[in-house]
Amino acid sequence: TSAQIGVTGLAVMGRNLARNFARNGYAVAVHNRTVARTNALVEEFGHEGTFVAAETAKEFVEALERPRRLVIMVKAGEPTDAVIQEFAPLLEPGDMIIDGGNAHFADTRRRERALREQGIHFVGTGVSGGEEGALNGPSIMPGGSVESYASLGPMLEKISAKAADGAPCVTHVGPDGAGHFVKMVHNGIEYADMQLIGEAYQLLRDVAGYSPAQIADIFRTWNTGRLDSYLIEITAEVLSHVDAATGEPFVDVVQDRAEQKGTGRWTVQIALDLGVPVSGIAEAVFARSLSGHAALREASRGLAGPTAQKLDESEAAAFADRVEQALYASKIVSYTQGFHEITAGSDEYDWDIDLGSVASIWRGGCIIRAAFLDRIRAAYDARPDLPSLLSDETFAQEIAAAQDSWREVLVAATLQGVPTPGFSAALAYYDALRAERLPAALTQGQRDFFGAHTYRRTDREGSFHTLWGGDRSEVEA
């Protein structure tokens, strides 16, 4: 049999992706460094479709029809380079290597450039949705050449998640590293979404006085409205779960130290390089990092602050409603920041990314899938050059309607000493963008004072410097 596609790297993700291809009628060559994994896959799931097990790299490559489509699903970083080095010499011009791992887009750009010289299409592809998504339909974000997408697109469209309107959750994002870049920002937005949900939970618990089970019900209600999303849905599941060993709410027996694998951090690092203010995503990454500093937290426990006063029942429901508004408004800001980063990346690397399509392919399969993304898509479809999501009329109106509650929630959080870095950063971003004048003018004055860095005036063209150490007259720089 000659296989239409091959998957090498058969841990959870690769195995499930291979099964997904097979279940959709494609003959799939499968290969893994440790052969036992290959055999286990074929033994357990061979009945699901046509698998061609290959023990060696050579057998694997020979099993593929030409031009070859070879998916790499190994640990990101050095293992990916090792696998590319193993396979590239066995391939021919026109063949395609699809890297579905969580690669850094800069690595993808480097690999794409090197393989292009050999005539091989390197397709760095973001895959989101975890193991469940890989099996039943992920959101897929392929970069690489237009030619490679012509060959791969139909297969990816078949195995991808489908949005509620039936559209496949995959599109050709753009050249070289564009797919992995967009996947990176997806993960950054995911961090921000999770942080905002966490803050909403803590406010409902510490200020409104609700139990985890009651909060689960509130999230279930929210999930029937404009916050309808996978993350809100699973939050309700986690909050209503009771620990079997202790009978306590599960959320109370888990150590409150969040871990991270790095894609959120990359989103912030790259945003710093590109000069994009992704403050909400940054706060989410920092909040995880802070939570992990056990000794620092222990040493700080005695510091002064208010003790949260729980609201009485009659006020709690109204407060919960305000928290929903604060969460929704903050979420709009997070997405505004994330899409700004994609715009900046697209400009920097000439990717010409269609923002409406990105919103569209995140509607299904991936971790941040949400009804809300339909609205973002509509906003960009109506105006592809929208300067910011906040300039979309519908979102602007929604924030306008939510802002009083948003501010009140932050007042309550501040007075009661409940940390809300995500909500606060989002509101600060919103107010900074709205502001007629920012203290940046003062910053420029300080910079000119200590470093003669010059400034621009509001009333005339040109750069100026004030002779701060002398008679304080102004000179044109």
d(CA 293, CA 258): 10
Of 190, 199, 324, 341, the catalytic one is 190
The interface mask with ligand NBP, positions 54-73, x = CB under 6 A, is -------------------x
**Minimum distance between the CB of residue 40 and ligand NBP, rounded to whole angstroms?**
10
Q: In b/e form, how buried is each residue of 2-19, taking b as 16+ CB within 10 angstroms? A: ebbbbbbbbeebbbbbbb
What stretches of 54-104 show up as alpha helix (H) in DSSP?
57-62, 78-87
Looking at the Cβ atoms of 132 and 431, the one nearer to ligand NBP is: 132
288 is in an annotated binding site: yes
Q: Could you say which residues in the range 23-52 bind ligand NBP, by CB under 6 A? A: 32-34, 37
34 is in an annotated binding site: yes
Looking at the Cβ atoms of 83 and 123, the one nearer to ligand NBP is: 83
| Active-site residue flag, 183 | yes
Residues in the chain: 477
H or E element, residue 7: strand 5-8
Query: 3-class SS at 3?
Result: strand
Running DSSP on this structure, what letter comes out for residue 370? B
Q: Could you say which residues in the range 100-139 bind ligand NBP, by CB under 6 A? A: 101-102, 127, 130-131
Q: Which residue has the tokens 């007042």?
A: 411
| Active-site residue flag, 283 | no
Among 70, 76, 123, 413, which residue sits at the site for ligand NBP (rule: CB under 6 A)? Answer: 76
Among 12, 146, 400, 415, which residue sits at the site for ligand NBP (rule: CB under 6 A)? Answer: 12
Query: 3-class SS at 65?
Result: coil
Helix, strand, coil % in the chain, rounded to nearest 5: 55, 10, 30
d(CA 445, CA 454): 8
Closest CA to 277 of 429, 396, 434, 390: 429
261 is in an annotated binding site: yes
Looking at the Cβ atoms of 56 and 463, the one nearer to ligand NBP is: 56
241 is in an annotated binding site: no
Amino acid occupying residue 10: L
12 is in an annotated binding site: yes
Residue 120 main-chain phi, psi, to 5 deg = -95, 135
Q: Does the CA dihedral 19-12-92-86 come out positive or negative?
A: negative
79 binds ligand NBP (CB under 6 A): yes
Looking at the Cβ atoms of 10 and 53, the one nearer to ligand NBP is: 10
d(CA 347, CA 449): 34
Nearest residue to the partner ligand NBP, using Cβ = 101
222 and 232 Cβ atoms separated by less than 8 Å = yes
13 is in an annotated binding site: yes
Segment lying near ligand NBP (by CB under 6 A), choices 74-82, 169-177, 226-234, 469-477 = 74-82
**Minimum distance between the CB of residue 73 and ligand NBP, rounded to whole angstroms?**
5
262 binds ligand NBP (CB under 6 A): no
Residues annotated within a binding site for substrate: 102, 128-130, 186-187, 191, 261, 288, 447, 453
Binding site for ligand NBP (CB under 6 A): 9-14, 32-34, 37, 73-76, 79, 82-83, 101-102, 127, 130-131
**Binding site membership: which residues?**
9-14, 32-34, 74-76, 102, 128-130, 186-187, 191, 261, 288, 447, 453
Q: Which residues are catalytic?
A: 183, 190
